[in-house]
Structure 1
Amino acid sequence: MEVRSHLKWHPKLSDPTGQRSAKPRTVGQTMVIDKGLGMNALEDLMQTAGDHIDMLKIGFGTSPLYSPELLKRKINLAKSHQMTVYPGGTFLEVAVQQDKLDTFFDMVSYLGFNGLEISDGTIHMPRSQRSELIRRAVNDGFTVITEYGKKCWGSSIEIEELIETVLIDSELGASLVTIEGRESGKGVGIFDEQGGCKDKEIEMVLTRVPSKSLLLWEAPHKEQQVHLLNMLGPDIHLGNIAPADIISLEALRRGLRSDTLHLGQEIEWNDWEI
């Protein structure tokens, strides 16, 4: 029997939306939060889902809890799969609070991180210091992702403040501005106490920012991902995705799950070169 090893899934089956591009992507990026993966687990993750991960965040302040040698291996593995890998913004806030910014920058460079998250979700940070940190990170060659929003329960989006933050941060060289959602996805940012999306606030934000491609929405739960993809389209950036949920999210983006199946019906396939 002839073995046809050259066969591949037809594009209509692998991506019914016709909108997913290969890495490095400028739209539809997925950020995964790593809260303690070992090397074996990370290698398995890269093998099964590496093509669908654009950013890997070593969550909150966990970076110093690994040996430097192990953390270097994790970072290098992620970078070998064309990922931006960076420590959580909370760790930078610790460095600010402890007055250890110079040693922080020295260490993240030594370890091989190629991205940095600039945030003030827990501490107070003057606008001048935020701007200085963005400039420093950009000048040091890091891809900069900033974050807007406080992590405390009940915090919400201040539209004018967010718009100003997006404009200033992007002008200073930030690639993305993250909208805070935490790992809980409840009672913070664009999410109400039950984890539902605040559509009115989302719409207000989108009417004021230069481009939705500047925003990375933290959406840890499936129902939030479905809602945002249906509301804003499959090419939005989504973050704080658990490692176990990457393939599921990619299926949602491509219209390969019932929740987003309709996305694949909006494409004129006659225009495709199959």
Structure 2
Amino acid sequence: MLEDETRLGLGTYTLTDADGVETIKAAIEHGYRHIDTARLYGNEEEVGEAIAAADVDRDDLFVATKVAHFEEPEKTPQYVERAVDESFEKLGLDRIDLLYHHWPRGQDDIETVLPVLADRVDDGRVDNLGVSNYTVDDLELADDLIDHPIDALQVEMHPLLQQDGIREHLAGTETDLVAYSPLAQGEVFDVDVISDIAEKHGVSEPVVSLAWLLSKDRVTAIPRTSSVDHLRDNFSALGVDLDAEDIERIDAIERTHRCEDPDWMTW
């Protein structure tokens, strides 16, 4: 589903108001083609404004959004349908490339929300169906629940949370893994192995972490930043080729750090 030019995207959480529009627009004009937002972020309008303002054709972009987060108050099919309609309206788009179910609270959420999203794909206005923070059990439920394949699974992944179990489960499928918090919210700066490899290649620790993610089959990364300098630095990861020894050293990191870990979640 995700091609080379969209395997490094932009996460837009907290990118709001005029500054957010300018950051997203700068990212698009620098070369980012995969833009990730969500109803919960409250910035779909800013994303749409940046897309309209950037000097890049809409068809060259891959736009993803998410609905029905566990914090949203209502989980009925009618509510989900309205939420999707509002996302289209706020983004100002007539097509969404990837629509996610955004972090279910439990099986009931999945059974209610996912069929509605699958219907939207079948209707033709949504190209791909995604799920966010689903466990292996959730993925198996989804497989039983709908006929449409899951095109993308978005989960936290970085060198300190390598998601071996999820990646093993997805191996051989057509599901892409989209890694949020790919820099472990800054923790990668404090890992000696990553710093050593960064010095070896003359790049930053974030670039090493992103290049490691991109070395994995069917893995996409969506780092978030409000700094144009960091946008450029992150994007340079597309041009960094880690050697086998680098990858093996990062693969062997035993430290585990999960940035997003609500008490009720059963990973």
TM-score, normalised relative to structure 1: 0.57
Partner SS, residue 241 of structure 1: coil
**Residues 77-156 of structure 1 mapped to structure 2, 5 A cutoff:** 77=53, 80=57, 82-89=60-67, 94=72, 96-97=74-75, 100-110=79-89, 111-112=92-93, 114=96, 115-122=98-105, 125-140=108-123, 141-142=125-126, 143-149=128-134
Long gaps (5+) in structure 2: 189-204, 248-267
One-letter amino acid of the structure 1 residue matched with residue 131 of structure 2:
T
When Rg is computed on C-alpha atoms for both structures, the one with the higher figure is 1
1:216/1:238 contact within 8 Å kept: yes
Is 1:47 the counterpart of 2:24? The answer is: no
Look up the match of 1:204.
Answer: 165
Identity %: 8
Look up the match of 1:262.
Answer: 243
One-letter amino acid of the structure 2 residue matched with residue 253 of structure 1:
L
For 2:35 and 2:174, the matched residues in 1 are separated by 18
CA distance 1:243–1:172, shift in 2 (3 Å): farther
The equivalent position to 1:76 in structure 2, one of 26, 44, 52, is 52
TM-score, normalised relative to structure 2: 0.58
CA distance 1:213–1:30, shift in 2 (3 Å): farther
2:68/2:102 contact within 8 Å kept: yes
Calculate the aligned-residue CA RMSD, in Å. 4.2
For 1:169 and 1:197, the matched residues in 2 are separated by 32
The equivalent position to 2:176 in structure 1, one of 207, 214, 225, is 214
Long gaps (5+) in structure 1: 1-22, 150-157, 182-189, 267-274
Partner SS, residue 252 of structure 1: helix
Q: How many residues align?
A: 210
- CA offset at residue 62 of structure 1? 0.2
The Cα offsets for residues 154-198 of structure 1, whole Å up to 9 and x where unpaired, read as: xxxx5x41552675689514421111x3xxxxxxxx57xxxx624
